[in-house]
A and B are shown apart, each in its own frame.
Chain A
């Protein structure tokens, strides 16, 4: 037996131990004050900086949200004409490029062994100077060249001046995806060597020849919101006003109402036969039709004659022609990457002709606003540079971002040419295929760390300001140039500005402020620019007239090199990775690809029919062989392809040493032809036929959506479309009620009294007709809520943590006719914050409960991890922490301090961004006012380019969400369960009639 005294002692100890465990637990946490407090930083209060997104050339306006001097999130800049407050998934993920653990941590030099070794900046500059001085002394000309990403304004002027000082004007702007063919076509047709500006928002009908404007084509965010405006104004009884013609059903394609799968290489003929049919039916506008060259040009392309080769019915062509012209203006978009082959220029010409005949010029197709993309060096010019490099004409080559070795056709020999240059300087910040050939690496700041300016098109000058101190020991390229110049006595005199920031200001003063009509003092001008995010002014519309294009429009049979039995290879820009510049951003790998729902990995898409012929199954590794090279990749079966085509995404993996995306020899550019297009000098994206051979190896691809979703009788999406009378019955008061059907049968449905929501009732409306499935919201959610990335393996085990998933509901595409009904519904699924939440009553410890503002609360600190809530959640939106997930340094700097990071064993889920709700309420309280509509916006709704997600307070009758909750198209998913979600969905409008009447 134990003595009472010992007994009490033990209790005391265990008791106090338990107490420590229960309350905070004393730990000597230190409290480190600023040495000198930076003005405009208040700890705990976010500071926002306007800047410009540089993830792609589109240049959307951006707001960087900083806390305690570090960027934690980026959002669109509402006052910026490009993006208008929205960002795409790549923009949202750009913070991960900033904090990327694999970035160059400082300057590096290639040593004798051929490896890279870190050096000091002074050494680096000495080295650079030592290589440049000889060139100056011998007064060499054109010995230095600069190949890099697009620059404008002060940066461009600086680089030009700098190169000039070194006796060279070889400044080439490089982008993987160019629009040379379109520029040439515009020149031929309208005498303007520039990209036309498209105005989708004004179009009544849209026809795209493989232009993926919702993903990667030119300026996707801008186009997406314009697209939404166009769609929202369409009649609900005839909602099909977007037809996609192409070999592959891209994300853009699956947002079309109809898809016409084209045999590769027949785009031009189809375009011309549509034009022919327009004239035929006398639908053309007089100005264009009256031109005498038009009819003879189109004569040979009657729908009957093209039907054979294109495989498109006469009736379909006539219908397309009719729709293009019946309700002007319409719009035809030409040649995306997928359609860029030998026939690129003729295709663009034909499409411009279509627009001319339909009378769209000056309305939806406008000239006079040159885009920055007009200044890109064509592939031909790059080849010329490579030629000079091989001929030892180039002594020093500067590479400024971009990864030409990876993104140029491998067999173009650019890599070898690089090795032939005595001294290659790279300013890239991330290791890639190109830096592997560099002799000196002077890592540039990330755009969130540095000053700069960027003008994506004339009239839009964006300022780019440093939102934080550099993460690593990097230097802004501009400052490197200035300081090296100042160290070379010949140049020192010509470069007086001490810093680039200074030069930037003087440049803006000279080129913008002084050119303004009314005089504005600098003290007003500059702060305004910084707060607005730049300087924007409308460009005048330029009148153009149609030239005779006949002699440029010879249509020839497209020649593809490669095995006869092979399939035409279609390379497409990855919607998330563009050309692979952000390949090491883990969020982008973890968020399912919008068309395939696959995560991580790279793959080759094969049509199920083709797969049957070749006895291929999902996940089989195949070898693709073209005359120029070969690679192996796992097969993904995709029915959104023309049968003669196999497709591969670009830039999902690189061979460089990157922890999230390192894979040898998966670059599809190995396969395509190095020859430039004869007419436009651009890359022949569609140039080869590839042979497919089964290797016998298997590499299962990880999909986050079980194929169950493909079934027609799907639980989550309501049956489409909504007929008007039915719709009338469906309208509900904004107070979330039980489904009528249920209440009619059973009378009052609930045993427990309804929840009271005295102050607010937060609610969300998601318009499935507007959602394009771009997944920008998902990335925003990852960024805002510290959602961990679990990696490929755990994804395969169903342990992904995403709070918001976009489900792809698409029945197998049936090809009865030449026109395919895409029938895709992109369904964003997040916690529905049910009024009768099944998860709440089953939690034994009240870790989840219904809070007074209508939120389904999840208290991490209270959760013991019985996981009952997840079992009982019909929407399967709850995520369990299987591990304590961590992020590698310095990615943890991005974590949002307002959101608790969760540890192993607790459940988590969408909170409607409760931290933003608290902040909004707090702000209102401190300003002594009521919380108004728009004070609180969750991350997903904030970034949605189509405003498909609307959030607000149902208690406020005038809030947008209250208005929309009673919309005729409303429904709740799994409504029959009487969970009464706070998330209301609006059904997608789909055509009820077939495409062609006859």
Chain B
């Protein structure tokens, strides 16, 4: 047979392999259910801890005058940050035609959606009277009272809300063709659900045409949000007069940090996922290495931001700002500060060595370090600044209580819970896109540098 035919044959074979592999990933093992169970237990504990806080009042937290924000807001910012790289990878890299993103884009998008779902809980959890949270929404009421649009907290409501809607849409639209695949491979009630969800996708050329334009459109829509959302979140702090918060660099600083932490989280999730679901053929070292490279870049930006902050404090000769940064660098917050420097500035530098950034063990370890480091960074910025404000007579030190720790833990469980459901019920890597890229590879091997044949 001709070369033409043979390639088509192999390609068809590969395409079927893709279907098989990806769908096989959806068959759960005992480990899976064990993890799911653990998550549910931890979530339950967190819920109990929070109900305790609602009944007792915030005295059960470690918060105190003058440190009125602590672990909760830190965790909120942390999760919003995580949300970012999802969109970055799937949308921005898509716009930049970075083909290698294909394999990990789905996971990244899912991560985005779930991270925002997690982040959204914290502003409510931290309220003194959480049952009145809806007062933060502008709705018509007989008191003719409206929200204060000057307050950054209201900007948050909109920013996070928008981000959630768009990223959810993006996630869903990208999912449609694969839902069709699922529909075709499933029976009974599942089939009915998938057929509804896949919006009757048939895979005709016309549908593909509309699909790709819709996907492109949403990608374009999501991209500016990456910048806007975390800028707005950073304004929660930059707009306030608190020394250590009140700084012009906060928006870019936070966006960089967000992408940085998000990329790390992608590694944290994918490395075990590809092992467990043995998707090594599709999420390859090459992909991970590219993420690692992005991490180096964002890490350097973040480190630069740290230095800039310190420089501002020194150069401005503002005694209050100086006090805050001294207390970070050499004062009560020094341990946390240097931990953060270690995790966010030094550890990622190891990725300059090819050997290390192609070693999944190292990748995983460092990604974890970065997660810790970025949480610490927000903690230092938020409670560290509040603890060293203008009125020296009111200075105090804050450390989270068991309630806050358990709710933080529960937030991870909550996130993991959704992610587990996701990889169990939906294809973790976009079948269609992988096929597409394989197709390209077959015709023009140079366009894709992945080791398909294992």
Contact = CB atoms under 8 A, between A and B. Distances in A.
- The answer on A and B forming one complex is yes
A865 B148 contact: no
B149 to A, nearest CB: 9
A876 B153 contact: no
Interface in A695-722: 705-706, 708-709, 711, 713-716
Contacts of B150: 841-842
B3 interface: no
Nearest to B124: A864
Contact of B391 (A845, A865, A876): A876
Nearest to A871: B68
Contacts of A870: 65-66, 68
B390 A974 contact: yes
B392 A883 contact: no
Nearest to B394: A876
A590 interface: no
Contact of B393 (A797, A807, A841, A872): A807
Most buried by A among B56, B145, B151, B240: B151
Contacts of B449: none
Given A862-B145, A882-B59, A868 B135 contact: no
A863 interface: yes
Interface in B44-62: 56-59
- Chain A binding site: helix, strand, loop or mixed by DSSP? loop
Interface residues of B, number: 45
A844 B148 contact: yes
A709 B393 CA distance: 5
B392 A863 contact: no
Nearest to B157: A844
Interface stretch (B125-133, B221-229, B252-260, B277-285): B125-133
B128 to A, nearest CB: 2
B220 interface: no
Contacts of B240: 838, 842, 868, 871-872
Contacts of B128: 863-867, 880-881, 904-907
Contact of B57 (A709, A862, A904): A904
B392 A715 contact: yes
A843 interface: yes
A846 interface: yes
Contacts of B132: 864
A109 B141 CA distance: 63
A876 B389 contact: yes
Given A799-B65, A871-B240, A874-B241, A845 B148 contact: yes
B145 A846 contact: yes
B40 interface: no
Nearest to B64: A798
A798 B396 contact: yes
B386 interface: yes
A880 B57 CA distance: 10
B369 interface: no
A875 interface: yes
B147 interface: yes
Contacts of B58: 865, 880, 882, 904-905
A792 interface: no
Contacts of B154: 844
Interface string B129-167: 101110110000100011110111110010000000000
B69 A883 contact: no
- Chain B binding site: helix, strand, loop or mixed by DSSP? loop
Contact of A838 (B131, B153, B241): B241
A841 B151 contact: yes
B319 interface: yes
B135 A875 contact: no
A798 B58 CA distance: 13
A768 to B, nearest CB: 15
B69 A871 contact: yes
A126 to B, nearest CB: 51
Contacts of B147: 844-846
Contact of A866 (B153, B320, B390): B153
Most buried by B among A714, A879, A904: A904
A906 B129 contact: yes
B391 A794 contact: no
Contacts of B394: 706, 876
A21 B393 CA distance: 40
B372 interface: no
B135 A706 contact: no
A887 to B, nearest CB: 16
B65 A800 contact: yes
B393 A706 contact: yes
A129 interface: no
Interface string A897-912: 0000000111100000
Contacts, number: 153
Contacts of B392: 706, 708-709, 711, 714-716
A715 B320 contact: yes
B65 A879 contact: yes
Nearest to B145: A846
A237 interface: no
Interface in A893-929: 904-907
B197 interface: no
A884 interface: yes
Nearest to B156: A844
Interface string B382-408: 000010011111111000000000000
B231 to A, nearest CB: 17
Contacts of A805: 393
Contacts of A42: none
Contacts of B64: 797-799
Given A843-B151, A883-B59, A865 B319 contact: no
Interface string B328-339: 000000000000
A977 interface: yes
B65 A845 contact: no
Most buried by A among B145, B319, B394: B394
A689 B153 CA distance: 62
A705 B393 contact: yes
A905 B59 contact: no
Most buried by B among A705, A715, A974: A715
Contacts of A714: 392
B152 A708 contact: no
Given A845-B148, A863-B129, A716 B66 contact: no
Given A708-B393, A709-B392, A711-B392, A865 B241 contact: no
Contacts of B69: 867-868, 871
B242 interface: yes
Contact of A706 (B68, B146, B157, B395): B395
B424 to A, nearest CB: 24
B127 A842 contact: no
Contacts of A867: 63, 68-69, 128
Interface in A800-820: 800, 805, 807
Contacts of A866: 126-128, 153
A905 B127 contact: yes
A880 B154 CA distance: 21
Contacts of A907: 128
A864 B390 contact: no
B63 to A, nearest CB: 8
B239 interface: yes
A841 B148 CA distance: 7
22 contacts: A21-B131, A711-B392, A716-B392, A797-B64, A798-B64, A800-B65, A842-B152, A842-B239, A844-B147, A845-B148, A862-B145, A864-B133, A865-B128, A870-B68, A871-B69, A872-B241, A876-B389, A880-B65, A880-B128, A882-B58, A883-B56, A905-B58
Return the 10 tightest CB-CB contacts between A and B, nearest first. Answer: A865-B128, A905-B128, A708-B392, A904-B57, A882-B59, A867-B68, A798-B64, A876-B394, A905-B129, A844-B153
Given A841-B151, A844-B153, A845-B135, 16 more contacts: A21-B131, A715-B392, A716-B392, A845-B145, A845-B147, A845-B148, A863-B128, A864-B133, A865-B58, A866-B128, A871-B66, A874-B390, A876-B391, A881-B57, A906-B129, A977-B241
